Structure 1
């Protein structure tokens, strides 16, 4: 019997899939396919033959992509065939095509109309699913609609404010919500937690056992599980965005990351010291500049650059890890990349741990900002 309240199993499932998916990506091919712009369109007669990173404001895929695909944009529409896993972070996401792997989506409004030949992981505000899913479904959001015609071949785990289940779920359904409406068929067990008993519509059917647990005012295990799931998804998106930024800048300026990371390698304590001072004093200087009329534009520019420096600090420190391993073990660039990737995963995972994440975040920012400050200092000489 599957139960969303068994938070250990749920957390391990999500974390394991995220880590395994990232570690097993064919990154040797990633570098060959990166497309960005305000409006990116893969036409119906186009086929991308390699793992692809797509980024921009509006992205539409009418053609096919033969490889794992990463997409970040405000508006995303996938109408073609993705022969691999699909990772998406966007505002409005619609998938009408076929994905021959798993689907990972984080966004505001998510609509899945196509076919997914493996598992789906969805997190957003409003989610509409009218799809055939050959694997399981892990879904978290505010309002979730499993429409009539949807088929989930295995189990479904759902956490939301309101859930409307009108689909066919051939396995178990485990949910935690304020409101649950059942209008479809569940081939296995129904295990749900809610404030009131579920609303069973005419024609609804549960083949297995039905277990209901009333949600009280105290935070439940299901609520904690949902929070953990969102934290893990946030960590995954952090890794994904870092990889995209690393790739784009590496393509534009190949020596950018190694140059910054080398400052840490040459003198870690000096870099940490300069970085710690900069992390504290740059915001203070910017605030002082705001009190002067002519200093406001400069203050805004400094704060923007400061925020960017903080953001890319994880990439810089992970690059340092890769360089250290490469120099010590005489590894190739490809082997060093795996250490870099492991660094991103570890730093992102540690970052979601209370207290520890805050401390590690300060240290990472200090190293990153310090390497940038020292690089700027050398440029002036």
Structure 2
């Protein structure tokens, strides 16, 4: 799905990607509170002094979290105050209280109630985003998904890409969006999708601007059709439409996207099982290196990534030179030299692609799964394959997010390549190998 470009958006995505990387590589030195269970409630008079990590079916925050809140569940409701960031993944996220810093949400449905206050930026991805009247996002608001209804106030800019967008709010900056063609409510929203625990508004496809809208900047939209803009709407900077061909506008069908991610998850689980069966010590060694030396692994991963390209070019150049010399001196060697050079390059490229498609993702997911289980249930030991499966599920969900998923994937590849480089160097020098993850 196409996203709007912007400096603030790049910075936000970069920050979130860094945060997610730290979450996967975190050590027990962090000061945080973690809770898990089927139903988690933070009472109205309860104050969490540190960051709070929670996982459960239903999560309700009525009290105060003085740090960041990281939550995973089916229904997450914020009625109290989060002094830091909210990072949430759920079927539905409902904010009725205050988030004093950034809001980062991946959810089927995200709703900001009439009393919701977000002190800085709000970035969300999912099927539906709704901000009710009187809600406030003090910074920028960005949404990538199927539909969005914005009735609350936005302090700065609104950006995003969606099939349907209805604006009823005041925007303190610019509006820059990509939408579908004007029409009825998007029919591609599958009726057999899991029903969210909160109602979803039905919107017409395309961009609709109500008469109550006040935009302090420009309204720029890309769409194959003309938007429905009320003549009473106040748009200080004017309206600019950039025509978008139909084939570039259509959002990917949710069923297709889910099927692709499910196939990806199954493939990673299968490859992970094979690696655990035949080379368990190697995988755990790579994971131990990535965990104990994350920054060196990232650095060496970038070097290795570039080195593979340089080596492939060098092999091709040497093959060409030797083939040319053979044609002049010993023509009988032309085909052997050309064949060996081509085989060497294909082997290098195939091995590289095979590695980066599976191994780094498995390594990082193993670390993430073990870390999450340890934080939520410190006294519980889990099988390494269970840890991998949980980590892969989270990894696949995160990498499905546009832009963020690509950045996370790239960092994961660099981390895995760097761990491989360090492992090869350690074995070559016959130095003690990095401590392996405990097999349970």
Shorter-chain TM band: 0.5 to 0.7
Spell out the pairing of 1:103-114 with structure 2 (5 A cutoff).
103-113=103-113, 114=116
Spell out the pairing of 1:206-355 with structure 2 (5 A cutoff).
206-219=235-248, 261=288, 306=385, 308-309=387-388, 312=391, 352-353=409-410
1:200 aligns with 2:229: yes
Which whole-Å deviations, capped at 9, do the CAs of 1:88-112 have from their partners, x for residues lacking one?
Answer: 1111110000111111111001101
- What's the secondary structure of 2:11's corresponding residue? helix
Which whole-Å deviations, capped at 9, do the CAs of 1:29-87 have from their partners, x for residues lacking one?
Answer: 84441111110000111111111111111000111111111111111100001111111
- What's the secondary structure of 2:248's corresponding residue? coil
User: In 2 relative to 1, CA 109–361 (structure 1 residues): closer, same or farther, beyond 3 Å?
Assistant: farther
Which of the numbers 143, 156, 161 marks the counterpart of 1:159? 161
- What's the secondary structure of 2:163's corresponding residue? strand
Which whole-Å deviations, capped at 9, do the CAs of 1:327-354 have from their partners, x for residues lacking one?
Answer: xxxxxxxxxxxxxxxxxxxx9866535x
Which residue is equivalent to 1:47? 47
Structure 2 gap segments, 5+ residues each: 181-205, 262-283, 293-354, 360-382, 395-403, 423-433
Which residue is equivalent to 1:7? 5
Contact 2:123 2:141 in 1 (8 A): yes
Contact 2:3 2:160 in 1 (8 A): no
Spell out the pairing of 1:46-125 with structure 2 (5 A cutoff).
46-113=46-113, 114-125=116-127
Spell out the pairing of 1:163-174 with structure 2 (5 A cutoff).
163-174=165-176
CA RMSD of aligned residues (A): 4.5
What is the distance in 2 between the residues matched to 1:20 and 1:263? 15
User: In 2 relative to 1, CA 10–49 (structure 1 residues): closer, same or farther, beyond 3 Å?
Assistant: closer
TM-score under structure 2 length normalisation: 0.52
User: In 2 relative to 1, CA 357–137 (structure 1 residues): closer, same or farther, beyond 3 Å?
Assistant: same
- What's the secondary structure of 1:108's corresponding residue? strand
Shift of 1:206: 0.9
TM-score under structure 1 length normalisation: 0.59
Shift of 1:14: 3.4
Moved over 2 A (4+): 4-17, 19-32, 217-220, 257-265, 304-315, 347-353, 356-365, 371-376
Structure 1 gap segments, 5+ residues each: 225-229, 235-256, 266-275, 281-303, 316-346
Shift of 1:129: 0.8
Max radius of gyration: which structure?
2
What is the distance in 1 between the residues matched to 2:392 and 2:146? 33
Which of the numbers 110, 129, 132 marks the counterpart of 2:131? 129
Contact 1:30 1:52 in 2 (8 A): no
Which residue is equivalent to 2:214? 185
1:176 aligns with 2:233: no
Which whole-Å deviations, capped at 9, do the CAs of 1:342-381 have from their partners, x for residues lacking one?
Answer: xxxxx9866535xx9789879989x9xxx999955xx8xx
Between 14-23 and 158-167, report the one with greater CA deviation. Answer: 14-23
What is the distance in 2 between the residues matched to 1:13 and 1:138? 13
Which of the numbers 139, 143, 164 marks the counterpart of 2:143? 139
